[in-house]
A and B are shown apart, each in its own frame.
Chain A
Amino acid sequence: MIQDELSRLRLKLIAVTLAFSFIPLLSLGLGLYAKFYDTYTEKIYGNLRNLADNKKVTIDLFLTERVAQLSNLALTESYADLAGDAYLERIFGVLQLHSKSFLDLQVIDQNGICVSYVGPYQLRGIDYSREDWFRTVMAKGIHISDVFMGFRKYPHFNIAVSRREGDKTWVLRAAIDSDIFDSLVRTVQLGKSGDAFLLNAQHVLQTKPRFGHDMFDTVPFPDIPRFSGTRVDELTIGGEVSLYAMTWLNLKDWLLVIKDDPGEELLPLYRARWLLILLLCGGGTLIVIGAVFIANGTVRELIRAEREKATLDASLTQSSKMAALGKLAAGVAHEVNNPLAIIMEKAGWMRDLLSEEDIKASPNFQEFADAVAKIEFHVRRAKDVTHRLLGFARRMEPTQENLDVNLLLEQTRSFLENEANFRGIAFVRDYQSDLPHIESDASQLQQVFLNILDNAIDAIDKNGSITIATRKLPDTPEVEIAIADTGNGIPRETLEKIFDPFFTTKKVGEGTGLGLTISYSIIEKLGGRIQVASEEGKGTTFRITLPVAS
């Protein structure tokens, strides 16, 4: 019952300690981690965004410059001048002076026919009128194509601008080496698995990425509608989670994508996470050990206090019981003594009268005499009981003499030596030779010793031993006298009642059941304690502790 309660209390203590330790620990750890995570990812995202922004500006600038060059040409030169191959070649030379990216240059008239051309191929006379780009450039004034191989077998793209001159519109078109994008995009400094590439609106690669795909491959990329600025997202593409910074170019519907491996970028973060988990586990283990330790300690302390209380309760109960019984015994003894006195006197009077001559002659004289003798005998027996009861109850101040307990025990033992010898009982003496003297009442103590030794002899009946041991208790200023017999022992139920008045296991008339009661009250009055321990079939041990002389 109490065990259950204590183990429940123990669990409760552990739970509360754990809760109050883990909640702050976890919230602190997780809070710090969350903050760190936010800051760190923000920084990484920011870096990626900056990178994408810069590249976008560079590529846009490149395109703008090329478009501006062509536009300037178209605006400053006339169709008539440019339609001549020789002049166009000179102009192309000037263009290439600025940028080696220009691969060729051609002029196309209103009908889509190439009228002049400078470059590695012979394109003059080709009709572009059915091409989409031609229609676009005629309508919008500018067209930038996707990157393609064309018959050059070399990745490039075209920029075409149109010019309205009088009632005629003509087109200036240049092919531009797209290697420039590769080098621009590839210069992005990324980690081991980082990548950067351009995608057109149909997710076709416009540059050669570092990994996986080749140029002009269609990448399984989610449809990203055009947006302004730069976005950084974590996307899962082909079962692989990566960080993507994406931005649309201004001049062309190309998406600049910078891919980064979050694993690599976030490695310090993961390290921090592992460190955190490790610290939490370590801290948690310590807390658990601490909580269990504290709970166990507390419960142990409680058990100890509970035991002490139980012992104290038991001894208080015993002493208050003895006090109450003492009063009762004194009252009973007194009330019984008065009638006994009268019976005694009446019997005495009868005895007096029986000595008269005429009664002596009576035939029943002997019967009378016997009856009177029996009455007197049994009144004396009753008187013994009441006087012993009064002895148990009396509050006489015990005398205080300096006593050698060993010597007193030895004297007491000698009284019983003959009886013991006769019954084949040996005394084993285990006296501490330097036992300190005590201040006590020798005759009362002797009464107690005699009583216990007498009981021990009765308990053994025949053949056995009685061990008498004395020692100074190590922790308290007390001496202990232990008297152990090898008798039959006392059953548990009986052991509780052993100090009660009139409790006896002896035959009627052999014992009054007051011996141990009186012993108990004497020892208590002398400031000591008397305890009994017994094991059935093995024997009984009485332990008396008495204070040492101060």
Chain B
Amino acid sequence: MGLRVLAVDDEADFIETLVKRFTYRQIPVTAAGNGPDALALMEREPFDVVILDMRMPGMDGLAVLQEIKKRHPLVEVIILTGHASVESGMQGMSLGAYDYVLKPVDFGELLEKAKKAYERKKLNESRADA
């Protein structure tokens, strides 16, 4: 069972390209345009890592993050932010996010972080099982 990614961002062009690039690397990825959609998707199928934009209309990234951590504590979240970023990134970290990446993002860096997050999830799962 490989890494399964859920990418959440309201910028359609961005998310579309991200999906293409993950798919190109044979990593299964699903896109969601907003928080509620993402949460609904997570109810239906399992994901390992969620790439989550902070600023979205309606439910914002932090609220989605809190919800994810409540419902799926083992899923790792990487925060994606373009705004007064370090602050909200740190806030996200304190709410249980694995890491944060500043927009515009370097795909290699993002991929690296996603892989590391997946490893941690595995580690946590095995600990939880034990």
Residues of A within 8 A of B (CB): 330, 333-334, 337-338, 340-346, 348-349, 352-353, 379, 382-383, 387, 390-391, 393-396
Contact = CB atoms under 8 A, between A and B. Distances in A.
Contacts of B107: 344-345, 348
Contacts of B24: 349, 352-353
Given A337-B82, A394-B84, A394-B86, A383 B20 contact: no
Contacts of A390: 83-86
Interface of B: 11, 13-14, 17-18, 20-21, 24, 55, 82-87, 90, 102-107
Contacts of B90: 396
Which of A337, A340, A396 has the most B CB atoms < 10 Å from its CB?
A: A337
A395 B87 contact: yes
A344 to B, nearest CB: 4
A34 B21 CA distance: 112
Instruction: Tell me if A's interface is mostly helix, strand, loop or mixed.
Output: helix
Nearest to A337: B82
10 contacts: A330-B83, A341-B105, A342-B17, A344-B107, A345-B104, A346-B13, A352-B20, A352-B21, A394-B87, A395-B84
B104 A340 contact: yes
A396 B90 CA distance: 10
Given A342-B13, A345-B18, 8 more contacts: A337-B82, A337-B103, A346-B17, A349-B17, A352-B24, A387-B102, A394-B85, A396-B90
B104 A383 contact: yes
A338 B17 contact: no
A491 to B, nearest CB: 35
Contacts of A343: 104
A393 B82 CA distance: 13
Instruction: Tell me if B's interface is mostly helix, strand, loop or mixed.
Output: helix
A345 B14 contact: yes
Contact of A342 (B11, B84, B86): B11
Contact of A338 (B18, B87, B103): B103
Given A337-B104, A338-B14, A387-B102, A349 B85 contact: no
B17 A396 contact: no
B84 A345 contact: no
A330 to B, nearest CB: 5
A342 B82 CA distance: 12
Contacts of A395: 84, 87
A344 B82 CA distance: 13
A165 to B, nearest CB: 149
Nearest first, the 7 closest Cβ-Cβ pairs linking A and B are A337-B82, A341-B104, A345-B17, A340-B104, A344-B104, A341-B103, A337-B103
Contacts of B103: 337-338, 340-341
A338 B55 CA distance: 10
Contacts of B87: 394-396
B82 A345 contact: no
Which of B20, B84, B90, B105 has the most A CB atoms < 10 Å from its CB?
A: B84
Contacts of B17: 342, 345-346, 348-349
B21 A341 contact: no
B52 to A, nearest CB: 14
B10 to A, nearest CB: 9
Contacts of A344: 104-107
Given A345-B107, A346-B17, A383-B104, A393 B11 contact: no
Contacts of A345: 13-14, 17-18, 21, 104-105, 107
Nearest to A345: B17
A340 B18 CA distance: 14
B112 to A, nearest CB: 14
A297 B55 CA distance: 61
B82 A338 contact: yes
A281 B102 CA distance: 84
A341 B84 contact: no
B29 to A, nearest CB: 13
A379 B84 contact: no
B102 to A, nearest CB: 6
A75 B58 CA distance: 152
A396 to B, nearest CB: 6
A349 B17 CA distance: 7
A337 B105 CA distance: 9
B130 to A, nearest CB: 38
Given A341-B103, A379-B104, A330 B18 contact: no
Which of B55, B103, B107 has the most A CB atoms < 10 Å from its CB?
A: B103
A517 to B, nearest CB: 16
A383 B103 CA distance: 8
Nearest to A330: B84
